Amino acid sequence: MKVLYVCRLFTGLEQSLKTRRWQPTGAPTISRMIERLDKHASDVRFILTRKDVGRGSFSGWTERNDCTLKIDGLQHEVRVLAGDERFPSWFGRWARAALRELRHLFHITWQFWRFRPDVIYVDHANFLTAGIFARVLKVPVVYRLMGVYPAMRKALVGNRIGQRALRWSYRAPYALVVCTQDGSGVEPWLKQALRADVCTEVLLNGVDEQSPSSAPDSTLATIPKDRLRILFIGKLEYYKGCEEFVDAVLRVLGLHLVQLHAIVIGTGSHREALIKKVTDAGFSTDFTFIERLPHAKIADAHRIVDIYVSMNWLGNLSNANLEAMSLGDCMIFPESDPETGIDVVTDQLIGVNSARRISRENAVEALSEVIADLIANPEERTRLGRSMEAAAKHFIPSWEQRISHEYLLLETLSATAMRNQKTDNFL
């Protein structure tokens, strides 16, 4: 099976490209699929496209030229296409973005004609390429979605040029659409956005057994052991509910119910503002902000805390939350939203007694009340953790199972396409 793999350059892959050593720090679904294709496909062409720009972008990749890299740990080379940096800033944001997309499209098309793959795998960030290829090529195109975001919902009804382009790409005749089940209400969106005759696969991400690290993180080691500890992991952006989390913890600290320490792991545009808010409130010693923590040591953070909070307004089956579930954390997260479908599947998977849910209205007040209640009820914390761990065993696959399933989908598509080609040639 020959696969042309096209995906945006995730920040979790950048360090591996810079050091030329394959040690991804994020985007496990992407990195593990790259590893599987690298080892098992007869041939594969990896193309990573630089997309993130402007506010909210934390990419450290600023190369102005395309490059082909040999990475220690991967058998196949990785082609990285430059982004907006390729064009002068005076072109303006929109002109640079348009030129970037056209340049990426032309380059990927050129790679297709040179490589002649059996299957083309394209992610959502490369929607223009995906939509065109699925319409004009006979080779099966797999469209990869990492969940459903607000911009994707708006694209179904909006009239801006970008929204129309997205809507057009969604209606392409893909051989298969693979979407991550992250609790973001993917099923109703897929039904509305895609053609009725397009096959879809909605896959939950995996979790592997997480053993304690041999060398515990030095920052985690300094966190007071005589306090009740509460954990937040995720990008420090508005949609992750990081501000509501900090405000709720500050409110509980102000009540002086118990000695409490909050651990915030993640980076984002709100990080400095949150640190300032905590400092100005006089509670800087009651918070530990960790910008980045190696994935192997994330489990150590879970094991030392009493409560785990996820305030992700877009869905709560993220990688971080699945790990928390499998480790049996006492969890708090927002209630589901039947209107959008957000976390409806989450409720179905974990049941009603495995986590505390808070209202999406008056979230700070609601969260602080639940935290205060759990502080006063250690038996309930224990019960919730055990219930969550038991539920997680029934629905969270291992990463081997998860990636093997997606790889098998590609193999099946490739085999079907080859049989059809032989039939056409015979006829």
Hey, what domains does the chain have and what are their CATH numbers? 2-206+398-425 (3.40.50.2000), 218-395 (3.40.50.2000)
pLDDT of 172 above 70: yes
What is the rounded average pLDDT of the residues 83-106? 92
284 falls in which pLDDT band (50, 70, 90)?
very high
Residue 36 tokens, joined: 């599987």
Residues 6+ apart with CB under 8 A from 424: none
pLDDT in tens, 210-255: 777 667 788 888 898 889 999 999 989 999 999 999 999 999 999 8
Residue 71 tokens, joined: 């990475």
Q: How far apart are CA 132 and CA 165, in angstroms?
A: 11
Check: CB of residue 246 under 8 Å from CB of residue 274. yes
In this structure, the number of other CB atoms found within 10 A of the CB of residue 120 comes to: 27
Choice between 27 and 283, residue whose per-residue pLDDT is larger: 283
pLDDT in tens, 175-214: 999 999 999 999 999 999 999 999 999 999 999 987 776 6
Residues 6+ apart with CB under 8 A from 384: 330, 331, 354, 355, 356, 374
> Cα–Cα–Cα angle for 89, 91, 95, nearest 5°?
120
> Could you say which DSSP state residue 86 is in?
G
C-alpha separations of 209 from 30, 73, 212, 231 in Å: 19, 23, 10, 20
Buried (b) or exposed (e) across 136-145, using 16+ Cβ within 10 A?
Answer: eeebbbbbbb
Q: How far apart are CA 143 and CA 130, in angstroms?
A: 7
Q: How far apart are CA 339 and CA 185, in angstroms?
A: 9
Residues 6+ apart with CB under 8 A from 235: 242, 266, 267, 268
Check: CB of residue 81 under 8 Å from CB of residue 87. no
C-alpha separations of 406 from 77, 123, 376 in Å: 22, 14, 44
Query: What DSSP element (H or E) covers 130?
Result: helix 127-136
Q: How far apart are CA 364 and CA 148, in angstroms?
A: 25
**The model scores a pTM over 0.85:** yes
pLDDT in tens, 77-94: 999 999 998 898 899 888
Residue 135 tokens, joined: 């319409």
